Amino acid sequence: MKGNIVVGQSGGPTAVINSSVAGVYAAAKKLGVKKVYGMVHGIQGFLQDNLCDLDEYLADETGVELLKRTPSAFLGSCRFKMPKIEGHEEVYEKVFEIMEKHDIECLFYAGGNDSMDTVKMLSDYAAAHNKPQRFMGVPKTIDNDLPITDHCPGYGSAAKYIAASLKEIIRDNESFGVEKPTVCLVEIMGRHAGWLTAAAALAKGEDCSGVDAIYLPEVTFDVDKFMAKVKDLAATKHSVVIAVSEGVSLADGRFVCELADADKKVDAFGHKQLSGTAAYLASLVAAETGLKTRAVEFSTLQRAATHLASLTDINEAFQVGYDAVVAAEEGKTGMMITLDRNGDDPYQCGTSAYDIHAIANVERPVPAEWITEDGCGLNEGYEKYARPLIMGELQPLFVNGLPRHLVRK
């Protein structure tokens, strides 16, 4: 590559999205790219010419090691929807103007479904207007709902945190309850797909009885059936722990959390901000049964827990960033790097580049064959898929008793 490159981060952060930036940087340096720019706050910041020079942070190995252990989006993120091209050409021209100004040959964008739409729109515009600049997608989302790729960087670490935290919650909840059980409802992210909530199934093992029920958005939520299930469990157990997705919805399409608050805020992509499902259901259980309840919302903790990140996830996040640069060097554009599983025993995974049109805006749900017949559990098919993704750890660098992070000036 003769020119420079730029990398951006977009959408909800993960524990390992910075590892992808490290991978982009490492490959670029290896290939002799002169300058690696970072977009400050994704494409939204880029449109305001807000860039940083990654040499300032990553030129020495300590910077790279710290970046891999830093949660959230080091460069800053955004939720910005590119407008449709027709009638908004000036927005697209601005992107190319800034690319030309900084001699940027290729733009790398790490994100989920919505961010891959940005890669698609920009590469389509370049193709339609004979522009030489290239655009590559780097997969990232705790939601694990991008199609084509076996899984998404960010998922393994969030799943590890969820399963580990549930083990701790179950231990705590089991410590009381000689008389009546405490019913603990744990709310897990994932707007339309239940991959993250499914990770609750991983808590079960030799030293843990596991959660008592798992409610995914893939299965229509029925409040009466849920209540009957809770009553059944409470009649025989001294502890009840239930995992529920923030995205569970009723037969009429309403999210369960909207029953408590119908006035949910909406982001640039029209997604409602979901939260309050566990709190709502806990209050319902308490009112109907008189049992003690707790509602735990993992919220941002599940996507920011770099101190419990999966080493497999960190390495794969690095690899997809690295391989995106290699693919761009080969002349590829309008593609996203996918993770391709080659085996489970031992787990093996390679990468390839795939047409962004088949990926952008498509959400992949948890396969129905992995959901148990009663609709509130996962079978061994899911376990076989997910277990390798949470394997391995990378010790944080502790300073003054706390993990040290890399911070942009």
- Contacts with ligand F6P by CB under 6 A lie at 11-12, 112, 141-143, 189-191, 267, 273-274, 303
CB closer to ligand F6P, 269 vs 398: 269
Least distance CB 9 / ligand F6P (angstroms): 12
Least distance CB 22 / ligand F6P (angstroms): 21
Least distance CB 191 / ligand F6P (angstroms): 4
Q: Which of 11, 310, 349 lies closest to 162, judged by CA?
A: 310
DSSP string of 184-199, one letter each residue: EEEEE--SS--HHHHG
CB closer to ligand F6P, 4 vs 197: 197
Q: Give SS3 for 278.
A: helix
CB closer to ligand F6P, 141 vs 157: 141
Helix residue ranges, H only, 51-107: 55-58, 61-68, 89-101
- Nearest residue relative to ligand F6P (C-beta): 12
Least distance CB 274 / ligand F6P (angstroms): 6
207 is catalytic: no
- What is the Cα–Cα distance from 107 to 8, expressed in whole angstroms? 8
Residue 279, Ramachandran bin (φ over 0: left; ψ between -120 and 50: alpha; else beta) = alpha
CB closer to ligand F6P, 273 vs 342: 273
Question: Please, are residues 317 and 224 in contact by the beta-carbon 8 Å criterion?
Answer: no
**Residue count (the chain):** 409
261 phi and psi angles, rounded to 5 deg: -150, 100
304 phi and psi angles, rounded to 5 deg: -115, 5
DSSP string of 123-174, one letter each residue: HHHHHHTT---EEEEEE--TT---SSSSS-TTHHHHHHHHHHHHHHHHHHHH
CB closer to ligand F6P, 12 vs 137: 12
Question: Please, are residues 394 and 160 in contact by the beta-carbon 8 Å criterion?
Answer: no
Least distance CB 195 / ligand F6P (angstroms): 10
CB closer to ligand F6P, 182 vs 245: 245
Q: Which of 117, 143, 212, 323 is catalytic?
A: 143
346 phi and psi angles, rounded to 5 deg: -80, 155
Least distance CB 303 / ligand F6P (angstroms): 5
Distance of CA 400 to the CA centre of its chain: 29
**Which residues are the active-site residues?**
143
